[in-house]
Structure 1
Amino acid sequence: MEGLNLDGWLPIRVWQATGQWRVDWCWFGDARLSQPFFGDAVDDALRLPFNQGFRRQTPLSTLGQWQQQRPGLAPSAFIFHASRCGSTLISQMLAQLDDHIVISEAPPLDTLLRSDLPPAERCVALKGLISAYGQRRCGLEQRLVIKLDAWNIGELPLLRECFPDTPWLFVYRDPLEIAVSHLRRPGMHMVPGMIGASVLDDGAPLSNQEDFIARRLGRLLQVGLGHCRAFTGLAVNYSELPGAMAGRLAAFFELDDAQRGRAFASVGQHAKQPGQAFASDSEGKRREASPLLRDRLMHWAQGPYEALELLRP
C-alpha cells in the first residue's frame, strides 16, 4: 500500500479468484457521478483512453488500508427500495447537488454484502469500499448517499452493523404497478437464478411468471416492512414523489431551501433515461394487469403493502 496513490480512482469490481479476493479500480478523476446508475458511470469512464491503457487491480485488503490513510465521507443515508418505485428519481434529484456524492446500485457493494467473507473481514471491506466512494474528488462534497439494489434489503442488518448511525429509507409502490413493470421488462431479481441466492428466495416451485413475480415482490415488501419496524426505517410511497423532496424527505436528507430548488431541476425528466421527458404510466399499468396477476398479488403482496402504508405519517 505504501506509495500507492488512488486519488481519483474508484472500485468498479470485487471478485474472488483462486481463493483470493481482488478489487478492480477505474480512474474517474474529478468527474461527477451524475448517471442514473453506477454501472452507467463506469461504462462512460472505461471509454476514456487512459482507462483503456491503464488498469489497476489490488488485494481486497487495500480497501481497508486506503480508508485508514485517506478516509472518505461517511455515508449520510442509505436508500433501499422495492424496485420500479421512484428510488432512482430520488437519487437523481440528489445528484443535482454539487455537495452530494450519489452511488446508485454499485455492483461491488452487492458482491461484498452477499459474499461468504468472515463477518469481521467483510465489515472492514464494506467500510473501505464506501469510504473509497466517499472520496472528495471535486473538493465540494459534504454528503454521501448510497442507493442499493432492491434485493439488498435482505442485507440491511449486516450493513447496519457496519454503519449503525446511518439513517435509511425504504421506497415502495402499489405492487400492481411494480409487477406490471417487471412483466414488461423483468429486472434481474425477477428472472429465476439470475442474481443467485438472495433473501427473495422462498423455496416454492416455479409455476408461471405472474406467480413468480408476485411471490418475489411480496417477499421484498415483507422484508422491507419487517426492517422498517425493527430498525426505524422511513417508509416512502412512490405516490409521494417528487413532492416529498420538498417536505419530509428534504428534512431526512437535511436539504436547505437552495438545495431543494436545485434538486427539482431534474423533475420532468425520465429518471432512468434523462434525455426523455417523464410521463406517469400508473393508470396504463393498472389497466394492463391481468386477472391472474391481480389474484397472485392479492395473495402474496397486498398484505405487506397495506402494512407499509400504515407506517407512513
Structure 2
Amino acid sequence: MKQSSPSLWQWAPTDIRASVRGLVMGWQYVGAHRFVEPFFADSLVATAGMGPEKRELEVAAISEVDDLDCLEPRAFIFHASRCGSTLMGQLLGESEKHIVVSEAPVIDAALGYASSEEWIFKRVIRALGQRRGGRERHLFVKLDSWHLFHLPVIQKTYPDVPMLFLYREPGAIMESHKIQRGGQMVPGVVDYAAMGVELEVVYHDLDAYCREVLEALYGRAIEFASEGRLKLLQYDQLPELVWRDLIDFLSLDLSAGEVLAMGERAMRHSKRPQEFFGGEGRKAVREGKLYEQFLQLEELRREHGIGEWA
C-alpha cells in the first residue's frame, strides 16, 4: 500500500539520511519566505520555528512533489569557489520573479544517489523550485564547487538547461582560501575520490592541496567547455555581466527598477550584505600547470562564454 504524504506545499527539503526505515528526507516549513540570503542554510535559519515542527518522510514517499506548482531550473551555476558565484546569486535574487537556491546541502546529498537513483535528485530540485509566493517565474540553482564533477549526471537529468561555470585567476582564489579556508580545500572534508577524482593529499601543506583541487576543477572545466557543455564566465566580468549579457542569454524579463536594484546590491559584500564591498587584494599565479589551465579557460571563453570577452 502506497504511503500518503502530508502536504509539502511551502516545505523545503533539508537533508537525506539512512534510517531503519531506509532513506528518509528531512523537511522544514519555510512558508512564502523568499530565499534572499547568501546561502540556503541561512534561509533555513531565517525560517526556523516559523511553522510546524520539522518532519521526516521516506524518500520513496515524496512523489507528492510531482503535483506541486514548481519551476524547472533556468540555469545551473557551477564555480571554482571564491569567484563571484554568490554575488551572481544575490543579484539574480533581487527580482521577486526569481527563486535562487544557493548551495543547498540536500542537493549534495541527492547527488550522492543520482547515478543510480536519478529521480531523487530531480525531485529534490523540483521541491526547491516550488512557487510558494505566486510571482516566481525562474529557478536558479547555485551548486557547490565540487559539483562540477557531477555535471554529466546533472546534464543527463536536465539536458536543455544551461550550465554556467564561473572561474577566476587562480592566485586570487588561493589567497582567499588562505585568509578563510573553505571545507572543499581541506583534506577529508569533501570525498573527491567518490567522484572519481584522485588527489595527492598533503595534510601538512593546505596550499598544495588547494592547488590540487583547483587543478582538478579547472581541468574538468576545460574538458566540458571544449565539448560545448559549459558556458564560461570570469570573475572580472562581474557584476555588469549579469544585467548586460546574462539577462539576454537566459531571456529574463526584468524591469528597469529590478536592474537598478541589482546595481545597488553589487555595491555590497556578497556574503555580508550589510557591508559595502571594498574590493579584495590579489596575488597572481603566473606560472605552472594551474596558470596554463587558466589561460586555456580564457581561450575557451572566447568560444563558449557569455558576453564580450574581457
TM superposition score normalised by structure 2: 0.89
Task: Describe how 1:1-313 pairs up with structure 2 within 5 A.
Answer: 1-2=3-4, 4-18=6-20, 20-46=22-48, 48=49, 50-51=51-52, 54-63=53-62, 65-115=63-113, 119=116, 122-198=117-193, 199=195, 201-206=197-202, 208-256=205-253, 258=255, 259-281=258-280, 284-286=281-283, 294=285, 298-313=287-302
Deviates more, 1:22-31 or 1:122-131: 122-131
- Aligned Cα root-mean-square deviation (Å): 2.0
Q: What do residues 31-82 of structure 1 show as CA deviations (whole Å, max 9, x unaligned)?
A: 1110000011111222x2535xx2210011233x123322511111000000
Aligned pair in 2 of structure 1 residues 240, 3: CA closer, same or farther (>3 Å)? closer
Identity %: 30
Which amino acid letter does the alignment assign opposite residue 36 of structure 1? Answer: P
Counterparts of 1:213 and 1:16, CA distance in 2: 31
Does structure 2 conserve the Cα–Cα contact (< 8 Å) formed by 1:218 and 1:302? no
Does structure 2 conserve the Cα–Cα contact (< 8 Å) formed by 1:219 and 1:301? no
Select the structure that is richer in helix: 1
Which amino acid letter does the alignment assign opposite residue 296 of structure 2? Answer: A
Does structure 2 conserve the Cα–Cα contact (< 8 Å) formed by 1:78 and 1:168? yes
Alpha-carbon offset, residue 311 of structure 1 = 1.7
Which amino acid letter does the alignment assign opposite residue 214 of structure 1? Answer: R
Counterparts of 1:3 and 1:201, CA distance in 2: 38
Alpha-carbon offset, residue 158 of structure 1 = 0.5
Counterparts of 1:234 and 1:272, CA distance in 2: 24
Secondary structure (helix, strand or coil) at the match of 2:75 reads: strand
Aligned pair in 2 of structure 1 residues 205, 38: CA closer, same or farther (>3 Å)? closer
Structure 1 runs not aligned, ≥5 long: none
Q: How many residues align?
A: 296
Aligned pair in 2 of structure 1 residues 305, 118: CA closer, same or farther (>3 Å)? closer
Alpha-carbon offset, residue 211 of structure 1 = 1.5
* 2:305 corresponds to: none
Which amino acid letter does the alignment assign opposite residue 141 of structure 1? Answer: E
TM superposition score normalised by structure 1: 0.89
Structure 2 runs not aligned, ≥5 long: 303-310
